[in-house]
Amino acid sequence: MDGLILVDKPQKLTSHDVVLELRRLLKIKKIGHFGTLDPLATGVLILAVGRATRLFPFFSKERKSYTGQIRLGFATETYDSFGRPTSAESQKLPDESEICEAMKKLEGEILQTPPLYSAKKYRGQPSYKLARGKKEVLLKPVKVFVHSFALQKYHPPHLEFEVQCSSGTYIRSIAHDLGQNLGCGAHLTGLKRITSGHFRLSDCLTLDKIKELIQQGRLEGFLIPLESLLPQFPKIILKEMGAVRARNGNWILPEDIQNVLLPERSLLLVFQEEKIFRLFSFEGKFLGLARKEPDQKGLLPFLVLN
């Protein structure tokens, strides 16, 4: 079994909890997730099964978008409502215009320090384990890109927001930094991932629904096959000898190609930037990915799904 499963992750479960549950239900060990969601968060969680796990680099870097809630007034040690307060509650809260101005300052390329209570590695260990053991953790700020951070509703001390950001952005840190900039403290109280790349929350199924489909033997009801993945890249259909070359990681020559199918017009920009091609056998099996090298007539496979 190979492909993707789109899960609407429930609150309180970790991303790894969801992986373990799918491994149990499907009786398959080779399952992983493409982008962690905190226990507090719900929404789009992409799971890869079998050979699809090798496509991690193409999904992990996708832009994400979220809706959520922030509580103004005090910060917490975990930057969310699961942690203990780190200060007394502020009695002075900003008005809506001050919040919007502070949110604007967190847009664009910013340096962000991950929360201490996160899976971010520090000296080979997840920082949350060290933080729980009261050991010193000094996480370095990293560059992330916040495309937009917008206020949706404000009913003091709570606000609702929507954010679009690069992969690797911690929304808990955004909430914490917003509170610091406003001078009143803040922490995240709710979060829902609504998109990851071109996948949307409406594409996802609950764990209960997936379990029901598995019991019915309807794998096609929740598994996105390998052949449907990465549609932004042109599809190369190979002749028999071309497929042999691809499986061995050898150059694909023009005479090895049976047909070329271009992506939709809306996806052509990605193709022009990446110059990556999906390789298929004449029978329709996804063989891997190849790249057009400068000044070369052929294509060189760089990821082969044997």
Beta-carbon contacts of 203 under 8 Å, excluding residues fewer than 6 positions away, are: 6, 44
SS3 state of residue 83 = coil
Check 2, 8, 17, 38 and give the catalytic one: 38
State the Cα–Cα distance between residues 246 and 252, nearest whole angstrom. Answer: 7
In whole angstroms, give the CA distance from residue 26 to residue 49.
10
Active site residue 208: no
75 forms beta bridges with none
- SS3 state of residue 70: strand
DSSP conformational letter for 252: B
Q: Phi and psi for 287 in degrees, rounded to 5?
A: -95, -30
In angstroms, the Cα distances linking 153 to 150, 173, 176 are: 9, 20, 18
Write the DSSP symbol of residue 221: G
Query: How would DSSP label each residue in 185-253?
Result: -EEEEEEEEEEETTEEGGG-B-HHHHHHHHHTT-GGGTEEEGGGS-TTSPEEEEPHHHHHHHHTTPPBP
DSSP assigned state of 280: E
* Contact by Cβ (8 Å): 225, 2: yes
Amino acid letter, residue 252: I
Cα 38 to its chain centre, rounded Å, is 12
Angle at 297 between CA 294 and CA 300, to 5 degrees: 70
Active site residues: 38
